[in-house]
Amino acid sequence: MKIGILGGGQLARMIALAGYPLGLKFIVLDPDPNAGAGGLSEHLHGAYDDPQLLAELAEKADIVTYEFENVPADVAAFLSSHTTVYPPANALAVAQDRLLEKNFFRELGIGTAPYRAIDSLADLEQAMPEIGYPAILKSRRMGYDGKGQALLHSAQDLAAAWESVAGVPCIVEGFVGFSREVSIIAARSPSGHIVFYPLSENRHKGGILRIAECRNNDALQAQAENHVRLLLERLGYVGVVALELFDVDGELLANEFAPRVHNSGHWTIEGAETSQFENHLRAILDLPLGSTKPRGLAAMVNFIGGLAPDPAVLALADSHLHLYDKEPRKGRKVAHATVRSDDGIIYAETLEKLRLLAEAVDDS
């Protein structure tokens, strides 16, 4: 059985590492000749919308999946008409457009921050009195790691902000006074079976995830599960999904969802009985889903920009290193490390040391 993956970065790499023990083979399509999943898979080297390569991918792969949600609609349509593609195209269509995504949450009865569709500077000027400051202007499409976004502190920011996003269709979103950001990772099979991981509590800086901690027995676990279950069932979803949420006085508001394995779930490799990567594969292959039970305490720290000093990370108690085989570059995720421990003191000490090691090489 061969799995095709659009994109050959670290997510494809970790999917492949989880898939070999299941007897799977992989083929990735990625324009980067040095894509990190390359050594682990057959590598089609070229543009994501190259019709010849897409035809080859569809021909060679039994099932196609992807490691990012910004797959052009016609690419998704082409692949879907030639082979099985999971998650389904409708999930992509919603996830890659912030307005459709927010509307979708509201339709499901899931709260969000206040937002408005913005197609002109006039729209923005009209919306702001109701949304209030501060707020954030975001392009509807292709937003990733804080790019294509502008902060609005007062009416004087509006024209410059509108210019900075190049006048593309946007939404403006009000701030909500959240106490923390969490995400829930879940997987759904074609037969409708769903499993949920314990909540991840996430720390961002500059719009980029820095630390994700497994929160076992969180008081809001059931609420998060209800939200993501609604989403999965409405979309007839298959595979792993990540739903990002704001905790506002115990109410979980939806921020966004990613129709794929997610950075906030990397701790599941060591910290859960079955990783998100393996469960994504089990789900799209309609195999029984694996247990999502946590294994003790676990957290993940991203290394961004600079490389982690391997021996320093490996010398820490209960620490695990994951290099992505990527050249260090400003703001680029090149590795992560996980602490997994049954001992609360070791856990806290190693997490803090990993945080400091990551901060020391962070250029973002």
Q: State how far the Cα of 277 lies from the Cα of 239, in Å rounded to an integer.
A: 10
Rounded to whole angstroms, what are the CA distances from 263 to 67, 90, 146, 244?
11, 22, 15, 11
Query: Under the criterion CB under 8 A, does residue 280 sit at the interface with a second copy?
Result: no
At residue 253, the 3 state secondary structure works out as: strand
Query: Under the criterion CB under 8 A, does residue 188 sit at the interface with a second copy?
Result: no
From candidates 46, 290, 328, 331, binder to a second copy by CB under 8 A? 290
Minimum Å gap between C-beta 20 and a second copy is 6
Residue type, 358: A
From candidates 234, 295, 332, 355, binder to a second copy by CB under 8 A? 295
From candidates 109, 129, 177, 311, binder to a second copy by CB under 8 A? 311
From candidates 49, 107, 130, 273, binder to a second copy by CB under 8 A? 273
Query: Under the criterion CB under 8 A, does residue 340 sit at the interface with a second copy?
Result: yes
**Residues 15 and 277 sit within 8 Å (Cβ to Cβ):** yes
145 is in an annotated binding site: yes
> Considering only CA atoms, which of 143, 147, 146, 97 is closest in space to residue 117?
97
Rounded to whole angstroms, what are the CA distances from 20 to 2, 24, 25, 29?
10, 5, 7, 18
Query: Under the criterion CB under 8 A, does residue 333 sit at the interface with a second copy?
Result: no
Query: Under the criterion CB under 8 A, does residue 287 sit at the interface with a second copy?
Result: yes
Query: Under the criterion CB under 8 A, does residue 122 sit at the interface with a second copy?
Result: no
Query: Binding mask 40-79 vs a second copy (x if CB under 8 A, - otherwise)?
Result: xx--------------------------------------
From candidates 100, 194, 323, 348, binder to a second copy by CB under 8 A? 323
Looking up tokens 């961002």 gives 204
Q: Which of 157-182 are b and which e, b meaning 16 or more Cβ less than 10 Å from the residue's Cβ?
A: bbeebbeebeeebbbbbbbbebeebb
From candidates 317, 352, 359, 360, binder to a second copy by CB under 8 A? 317
> Considering only CA atoms, which of 346, 320, 230 is closest in space to residue 17?
320
Query: Under the criterion CB under 8 A, does residue 314 sit at the interface with a second copy?
Result: yes
Task: Please state the separation of Cα 248 from the chain's center in Å.
Answer: 21
Q: State how far the Cα of 332 lies from the Cα of 58, in Å rounded to an integer.
A: 30
> Considering only CA atoms, which of 304, 309, 307, 322 is closest in space to residue 362?
304
Query: Binding mask 19-38 vs a second copy (x if CB under 8 A, - otherwise)?
Result: -xxxx-x-------------
Query: Binding mask 215-254 vs a second copy (x if CB under 8 A, - otherwise)?
Result: ----------------------------------------
Which residues of this chain interact with a second copy, rule CB under 8 A? Answer: 13, 17, 20-23, 25, 39-41, 273-274, 282, 287-288, 290-291, 293, 295-296, 310-311, 314-315, 317-318, 320-323, 325, 335, 340, 342
